[in-house]
Structure 1
Amino acid sequence: MTFEVAINQQQYKTYTLSDSYAQSLIEVVPERGGIITKWRIQGQEIFYLDNERFTHPDLSVRGGVPILFPICGNLPDNTYTHGDRTYTLKQHGFAREMPWLVTNQSTNDCASITLVLTSNDETKAVYPFDFEVSFTYRLWGNSLVIHQNFQNNSSESMPFSVGFHPYFAAPDKTALQVQIPATEFYDQKTQSTQAFNGEFDYSRDEIDAAFKQLSGESASVKDTSRQLQLNLEWNNDYYNTVVFWTVKDKDFYCLEPWTAPRNALNTGDGLIALPPGDSLQTWVSMNITF
């Protein structure tokens, strides 16, 4: 059989989706924020993971593909107002910290797993909406596709944004050739707009660049030191922001598709407003070429 879904108990129950023909696999840990922790193709690790941080449930995961919902980025003072109430919501929201429920597995035409996060008293204390979010991770060949479904079970419109924060392994960032369909970005560190010519200064302590004026629906990063290229695509109907983030002397870069920039819950910029009873589907795709 080419496709397989296996389960093993490590610190957390871990689901391994594999394509033996392509020699590719991903590992998913539902109870740790529904995160994909590993992506390996032909023996090469595609993702970076800080294993030490991962073992501590009280620390945010630095690595793999954290899920950002119902916000991307942070809010000023971690607060927003809805109706006549002010709520506190931590950076990137709560989805990456909560356990997700596995509802389906398949090996028919790919290796896939579906995870669901449903609103509860804990989420409604910081985000007063009834929702059901389901993500399906699909692996085949050198491709990983994340299908997303959002269901608003509230009696009012539900504002949200969603995104991913994938950490890609990069031992030599000077070997990266970055292509993003934009000519400028907003530098979160200097609070200024900068022209973009495909290059970053990796000697800086931190790079936090938000590309909001996208002219296409794909981006790529070629790593000449590893002789591989990441190709990232997104559903242009909803995803409108790409963030490039990295930290000096760390062997990773993040290329993050977001449906709205930071603070959208306050500004409304790019925010999705899902009518009561409605659902919405979208997707993000990652592919590796050698």
Structure 2
Amino acid sequence: MSTVGDMTPLVLHDREITVALSHHGAEPVSIRDQDDHEYLWSGDDPWRRHAPVLFPVICRVPDDRIRVGDETFPMPQHGFARDREWSVVDSAHDRASFVLVADEETRRYYPFDFALAVTYSVEGRSLSVQYTVENRGDEPMPFDLGSHPAFVWPLEDDQPRSMHQVRFDEPETAPVRRVVDNLLTDERFDNPAWDRVMTLNDAWFTDGAVIMPEVASRGLVYSSGAGRQVRLTWEGFTGITLWSVPGARFVCIEPWRGRPAPTDYVGQFAGKPGNAVVAPGGREELSYRVELL
């Protein structure tokens, strides 16, 4: 069993895929196929992460504080899970399970007795990611949970970035949302994937993330139209967000359960729009799968 603070990436492998995982944030830092081709962003400038876990908030809350009962608590952007050391509770050559459990430090931000587990497993050309959110307390527990994987864009160096597309399994007609200072605005925009296909370009990201909080599909394919492709499928997540920095060589395709707080939101954290709530003693499970095509 690995120990908290171990800086050596934990490597999973099967015949056609190799995945490296960091104890810091329990995030994947590399996904390679049998040709040693890298699909995940390197974590260099301008964004020094790879695929962080967003918990217990996505983006921000106003004033970076949440209210629970009669108290307020500081809450950093995207929560605290991505910046914590997680414990490995089980591992083999093709799977690993990490867990983050409430402690004195997490209760400074989030006064709930939780356990958040993530299990990564590889098979063939696929990586499966399973989250379990457990409420070990005696009060209902609100939360958001998101994954933030950044895939290389272009998928291959000799392919134009402008040829890359995200093709959803179903037409996406629900409005797209945007954030200002990582808080959700009221404005609704036409969905660029109404015909199932979004052609990627930097202009989409000059105003930040493209948020689809009510996604109809349960899968999509990211590709350049030729060569390597990535298929993403999910269960339990209710939205998909795309984000990049204009000119950067990555695109994040993010399954979300929840959404950023509205710019003018006040009130109890439990009432924030989009939150999931786990009953005392209950748990919620969410998952997604990355398949290299």
Structure with the higher fraction of residues in strand conformation: 1
Give the equivalent residue in structure 1 for 2:12: 17
The 1-side partners of 2:245 and 2:237 are apart by: 24
User: How far is the alpha carbon of 1:201 from its aligned partner?
Assistant: 4.1
Q: Does the CA contact (< 8 Å) of 2:65 and 2:72 recur in 1? A: yes
The share of aligned pairs that are identical, in percent, is 24
Instruction: Give TM-score, length-normalised by structure 1.
Output: 0.84
Structure 2 residue 28 is the aligned partner of structure 1 residue 39? no
Q: Does the CA contact (< 8 Å) of 2:165 and 2:200 recur in 1? A: no
Q: Does the CA contact (< 8 Å) of 1:149 and 1:279 recur in 2? A: yes
User: How far is the alpha carbon of 1:122 from its aligned partner?
Assistant: 0.6
Equivalent of 1:186 in 168, 177, 182: 177
Residues 53-72 of structure 1: CA deviation (Å, up to 9, x unaligned): 8xxxxxxx733210111111
Give the equivalent residue in structure 2 for 1:66: 52
The 2-side partners of 1:188 and 1:282 are apart by: 24
Residues 1-51 of structure 1: CA deviation (Å, up to 9, x unaligned): xxxx9x9xxx922111111x22x2010111x11111000112211000224
Structure 2 residue 62 is the aligned partner of structure 1 residue 83? no
RMSD, aligned CA: 2.4
Give the equivalent residue in structure 2 for 1:202: 202
SS at match of 1:77: helix
Give the equivalent residue in structure 2 for 1:123: 106
1:166 counterpart letter in structure 2: P
Sort the Cα spacing of 1:98 and 1:255 in 2 relative to 1 into closer, same or farther, 3 A: same
Q: Does the CA contact (< 8 Å) of 2:218 and 2:234 recur in 1? A: yes
Q: Does the CA contact (< 8 Å) of 1:219 and 1:233 recur in 2? A: yes
The 1-side partners of 2:133 and 2:208 are apart by: 31
Residues 108-132 of structure 1: CA deviation (Å, up to 9, x unaligned): xxx0001010110110011001111
Give the equivalent residue in structure 2 for 1:224: 225
Please, which runs of 5 or more residues in structure 1 have no aligned partner?
A: 54-60
The 2-side partners of 1:211 and 1:52 are apart by: 26
After superposition, where does 1:112-191 map in structure 2 within 5 Å?
112-171=95-154, 172-180=160-168, 181=170, 182-183=172-173, 184-188=175-179, 191=185
SS at match of 2:177: strand
Structure 1 residues 64-73 or 262-271, which shifts more?
262-271
Q: How many residues align?
A: 266
User: How far is the alpha carbon of 1:146 from its aligned partner?
Assistant: 0.7
Give the equivalent residue in structure 1 for 2:265: none
Q: Does the CA contact (< 8 Å) of 1:165 and 1:254 recur in 2? A: yes
User: How far is the alpha carbon of 1:52 from its aligned partner?
Assistant: 6.8
Equivalent of 1:26 in 15, 19, 22: 19
SS at match of 1:146: strand
2:164 counterpart letter in structure 1: L
Sort the Cα spacing of 1:201 and 1:169 in 2 relative to 1 into closer, same or farther, 3 A: closer
Please, which runs of 5 or more residues in structure 2 have no aligned partner?
A: 155-159, 263-268
Q: Does the CA contact (< 8 Å) of 2:12 and 2:92 recur in 1? A: no
Instruction: Give TM-score, length-normalised by structure 2.
Output: 0.83
Q: Does the CA contact (< 8 Å) of 2:142 and 2:270 recur in 1? A: no
SS at match of 2:105: helix
Q: Does the CA contact (< 8 Å) of 2:146 and 2:254 recur in 1? A: yes
User: How far is the alpha carbon of 1:193 from its aligned partner?
Assistant: 2.2
User: How far is the alpha carbon of 1:106 from its aligned partner?
Assistant: 2.6
Q: Does the CA contact (< 8 Å) of 1:261 and 1:270 recur in 2? A: yes
